[in-house]
Amino acid sequence: MPGTKAENKTILLLKALLFSALLLFCTFSFAQAPKKNLVPNPSFEEHKGKGTDIKTATPWKGVGTVDYYLKADKRDTSRFKGARTGTAYAGLRFQSDYKEYMHVKLTEPLEKGQVYHFRMYIRLLESSNVTVTIKQLGAYFSDTEFKVGMVFEEEGLVDTTYNKGISGTLNWIAIQGDYKAHGGEKYVIIGNFRTKMKEDFVKRNKWSLFEFKEAYYYIDDISLRKKNVPFDSVAVFKNAAKNALPVFPDTFNTGQKVEIKKIEFVKGTSELTQSSYKFLDNVVNMLNQHPFMEIEIVGHADNEGSEGNNKKLSKERAKAVYDYLKLQEVINPMTYKGVGSTEPLAPNDTDENKVKNSRVEIVIIKE
């Protein structure tokens, strides 16, 4: 039996709402889906023949004699020898009057105004021949293919600059960052973009005076992907990110305490709220700029409840932050602990002060 007009309108309204909800869900899911890698042959596994030059890993090209490895380099004495993934990887050499680049055409030109996330992994060769490290290594995005004498503008770069030299623990290190395209960039160039190579060297043995200066880094797993944009208004998100994200200093000192501001936990638990992730990602970016800085993550609590429970909860919250940073592939040496309510910033006499005291800090163990 047909329903009344009012019932029919209600059914139509419910159907419309259901369709809208499904559409929103699908749109959100699509927006959050992993983006394709625009770098072809990103880990160099595809190759023509068994040559030792990077051009073997088509369509990559090199400037200088850029090395290509299908198995572990015999010179490498590190326990991390070999590729990061698969079996193939590349190597770049840097000397006082000589440096190498590798470059490739992207699978599609970059879109104007679009933000992309670049990442590659590098590892210093552990060998007696490697007498220096370099301060800067990264990628340059270009409209045109590499040519001798081309100028590398600052706005085209994504790099890691570390004044003490990029070395780490001889394990693979992530060089990564965001890049906002001016539109039409078709190539990515990997290398060192300093004008004077000598000024970018850091001696591995500071007492050595006359040794030949050479740095050598392995390269693997290069990616460039569009950044996922949250379903919220893009303009609102950009404004919020620009105005609300805490600004970290450029340099740090051993013993310095840095509060991770604006992160929140579900009340009485160590579960991070969804809104905390963008602030933790800001911490990730900061740590990626100081990849060898050793830190301790310290959880604090207010004085509500027993001190035993406070210490347990503060440690669990510190671990939640630690786990998130590890998940984002932060390579910094890290530990964590909880100190309960033993180190308050303010008297626990108001709700506002209790919020100040219930916090997570980073302590710089070694800068």
Instruction: Tell whether 12 is covered by a domain.
Output: no
Averages of pLDDT over runs of 10 residues in the chain (367 residues) are 54 50 44 75 95 96 96 90 94 94 97 93 90 93 93 89 78 87 96 90 77 93 83 47 68 91 90 88 87 92 92 95 90 94 91 90 92
Pick the closest to residue 217 from 141, 126, 289 (CA basis).
126
Spatial contact of 298 and 338, defined as CB atoms under 8 Å apart: yes
For residues 83 and 222, state if they share a domain: yes
Instruction: Tell whether 330 is covered by a domain.
Output: yes
For residues 214 and 243, state if they share a domain: no
Q: Which of 171, 200, 226 is the last residue of a domain?
A: 226
For residues 317 and 358, state if they share a domain: yes
Q: Which of 208, 226, 244 is the last residue of a domain?
A: 226
**What is the pLDDT at residue 240?**
47
Q: CA 247 from chain center: how many Å?
A: 17
For residues 72 and 194, state if they share a domain: yes
Which residue range is the domain that position 173 belongs to? 54-226
DSSP H or E stretch at residue 119: strand 115-124
Task: Determine the Cα–Cα distance for residues 104 and 55; give it in Å rounded to an integer.
Answer: 10
DSSP 168: T
For residues 180 and 62, state if they share a domain: yes
CATH of the domain at 81: 2.60.120.260
For residues 173 and 253, state if they share a domain: no
**What is the pLDDT at residue 337?**
96
Instruction: Tell whether 65 is covered by a domain.
Output: yes
For residues 139 and 202, state if they share a domain: yes
For residues 267 and 287, state if they share a domain: yes
For residues 269 and 202, state if they share a domain: no
Number of domains in the chain: 2
How far CA 353 is from CA of 80, 245, 301, 302, in Å, comes to 48, 22, 11, 9
For residues 143 and 186, state if they share a domain: yes
Where helices occur in 33-171 by DSSP H, the ranges are: none
For residues 145 and 88, state if they share a domain: yes
Task: Determine the Cα–Cα distance for residues 31 and 118; give it in Å rounded to an integer.
Answer: 18
Instruction: Tell whether 266 is covered by a domain.
Output: yes
For residues 207 and 348, state if they share a domain: no
Q: Which of 226, 248, 280 is the last residue of a domain?
A: 226
Instruction: Tell whether 29 is covered by a domain.
Output: no
Contact residues for 356 (Cβ-Cβ < 8 A; gap 6+): 345, 346
Residues 296-306: tens digit of each pLDDT: 999 999 999 89
Read off φ and ψ for residue 309, nearest 5 degrees: -65, -40
Instruction: Tell whether 349 is covered by a domain.
Output: yes
CATH of the domain at 313: 3.30.1330.60
Instruction: Tell whether 27 is covered by a domain.
Output: no
**What is the pLDDT at residue 317?**
96
pTM over 0.75: no
Instruction: Tell whether 257 is covered by a domain.
Output: yes
